[in-house]
Amino acid sequence: MKRIIQALTLTLLAVIIGASARPVQKSTRPVRGRHFYVAPEGRPNHPGTLNRPLDITTALSARTPARPGDTIWLRGGVHAAPQAILFGTEEPTLVSTLTGTATAPIIVRQYPGERAIVNGGIRIEGAWTWYRDFEISNSSPNRNQKRPMGLHVFGPHTKFINLIIHDNGNGIGFWQAAENAEIYGAIIYHNGWEETNDYRGHGHGIYAQNLSGAKLISDVISFNNYSSGMKAYSEQGHANQITFEGNISFNNGAPARPQTAYNRVENLLVGTSINPVEGVRLIANHTYHPPDSTGNSIFIGYAAASNRDVVISNNYFVGGDTNHTYLTRWEQIVFTGNTLIGGRDLLVLQMPAGLNSLAYGQWDDNHYLSRHNSSPFIYTDSKVSGYRSLDEWQRITGLDRRSAWLANRQGRPTRNHILLRPNRYDRQRANLAIYNWEHLENVEVDLHEFLKAGDRFVIRNVQDYFGPPVVTATFNGQPIRVPMTGTPTSPEFNAFVIFRN
């Protein structure tokens, strides 16, 4: 087994790390606490110095020398616990019990200028610990069996910041026990597998549940996972008090068979099978499915007979050919400032028993566009059901009095839409999403809100994150030309990360 793990490690180092140009995280060391160092060649009996680093298993365990306020630096290379790559289970074998305090969390992060990869995933059991900047992957090429999760999170008051999580089972399992926890700035892609007995994709970018406290999922880019991009769901548990803010989720379901444009699933799903959901917020999220794809894009509510309350504001939801946005059985909905662009079924609203749309006092100032259906709204209560135009929808429901229909001959918006969100934990980076409705080869983007004249920067396409930057330049105050070619979602959509040097 040891030889197998060593062979897999060497393979991963040679193939994934290679000698090509790659992004590294610039980091400023915390000024307080002690510093310990972990390396692939580290040993359990080492003190954790630069010259005598620890191994990752010891550093994350109860035997760690780290205490509240300390920082654990992961050196470059592949870190793997014994028997880290397992099949038929969601359970990683590497376990972190690190526990800091509210005022002095333990920090686990990548060493500046290096690329640290955890191979096989981590189960998080401690609390008050921040994990940031490093990569979590699985080097096995086998996609026909269940794979371990990238992060299996049970620890309350934990944060997961600017991680890169790919090729695991589920990217992150974000469970009920992880109260008051946060996922921020992660890049999550190509997680999942296919079981031979059902020939469909399994594995989500994020799979979340929550009962007490709150969870925040913010500024994440989740794409090309085998199933949903972000899913807050439980069959018998809860999905309460979860906020999704500023995320970019696109093209999920694409890797699963059949690998065509017609195999897409939810970019964002919130709901349960039984228990009502409450306290959910979807703020300023952006999604995308290709125009010829089918399947749901946004599903908020799912199967519970009645859900309590949800706020859906200032989102930009772009679906495929059919089945775009479902809102099912909510007692209260705030639905304002959203843009919905899609195909036939643009918006489906199903009321809970005993209520109609008059229960919704804040539903307005939205923008809608269906590419090839003038009646893409479906409203259902105990008395009314059927497809409606926007005018009919407004008359029957009393909603959207100031909302607009983005009608045009091309069946898509006539002006490009650009999202720029600076990173809250790293002032040197920002997320960028471009909806290239004009189908230009290069799109001009104004970056003056993030960069100042003289700043050197690079832009990386997340669909080729470890490849060469698509832009390397010095900012002169003028709009930057960003190429929109070379990816499965080109030229209509691409997502990027900007790094200021």
State pLDDT tens for residues 300-336: 999 999 999 999 999 999 998 887 899 999 999 999 9
The answer to whether residue 378 is domain-embedded is no
The answer to whether residue 61 is domain-embedded is no
Q: Could you read off the pLDDT of 206-228 as tens digits, one per residue? A: 999 999 999 999 999 999 999 99
Report which of residues 25 and 104 the model is more confident about: 104
As a whole number, mean pLDDT of residues 45-71 equals: 98
Q: Assess whether pLDDT exceeds 90 at residue 339.
A: yes
Q: Assess whether pLDDT exceeds 50 at residue 13.
A: no
As a whole number, mean pLDDT of residues 131-157 equals: 95
As a whole number, mean pLDDT of residues 215-243 equals: 97
List 368's β-bridge partners, or say none.
340, 405
Q: What's the mean per-residue pLDDT of the chain?
A: 91
Give the Cα separation of 165 and 130 in Å (integer).
Answer: 16
The answer to whether residue 492 is domain-embedded is yes
Handedness of CA 117, 118, 119, 120 (dihedral sign): negative
R_g over Cα of the chain: 23
| C-alpha distances out from residue 283 to 244, 247, 346, 416, 499, Å | 6, 9, 19, 21, 24
What pLDDT is attached to residue 105?
98
The answer to whether residue 448 is domain-embedded is yes
Would you say 94 and 118 are in contact if contact means Cβ atoms under 8 Å apart?
A: yes
Would you say 72 and 107 are in contact if contact means Cβ atoms under 8 Å apart?
A: yes
What pLDDT is attached to residue 101?
98
Would you say 138 and 119 are in contact if contact means Cβ atoms under 8 Å apart?
A: yes
Q: Predicted confidence band at 492 (pLDDT cuts at 50, 70, 90)?
A: very high
DSSP 408-472: -TTSS-SS-EEEEEE-SS-TTEEEEEEE-TT--SEEEE--TTT--TT-EEEEEEGGGTTS--SEE
What pLDDT is attached to residue 382?
81
Q: Could you read off the pLDDT of 416-461 as tens digits, one per residue? A: 999 999 999 999 999 999 999 999 999 999 999 999 999 999 999 9
Would you say 437 and 412 are in contact if contact means Cβ atoms under 8 Å apart?
A: yes
The answer to whether residue 453 is domain-embedded is yes
pTM for the full predicted model: 0.93
The answer to whether residue 89 is domain-embedded is no
What pLDDT is attached to residue 372?
78
pLDDT above 90: percentage of residues in the chain: 79
What pLDDT is attached to residue 260?
58
The answer to whether residue 228 is domain-embedded is no
Q: Could you read off the pLDDT of 384-408 as tens digits, one per residue? A: 888 899 999 999 999 999 999 986 6
Which residues form the domain of 454?
Answer: 417-500
Q: Assess whether pLDDT exceeds 50 at residue 25.
A: no
Q: Assess whether pLDDT exceeds 60 at residue 109.
A: yes
Report which of residues 382 and 176 the model is more confident about: 176
Residue in 377, 373, 375 with CA at minimum distance from that of residue 411: 373
Query: Hey, is 63 helix, strand or coil?
Result: coil
Count how many domains the chain has: 1
Give the Cα separation of 159 and 172 in Å (integer).
Answer: 12
The answer to whether residue 421 is domain-embedded is yes
Q: Assess whether pLDDT exceeds 70 at residue 122.
A: yes
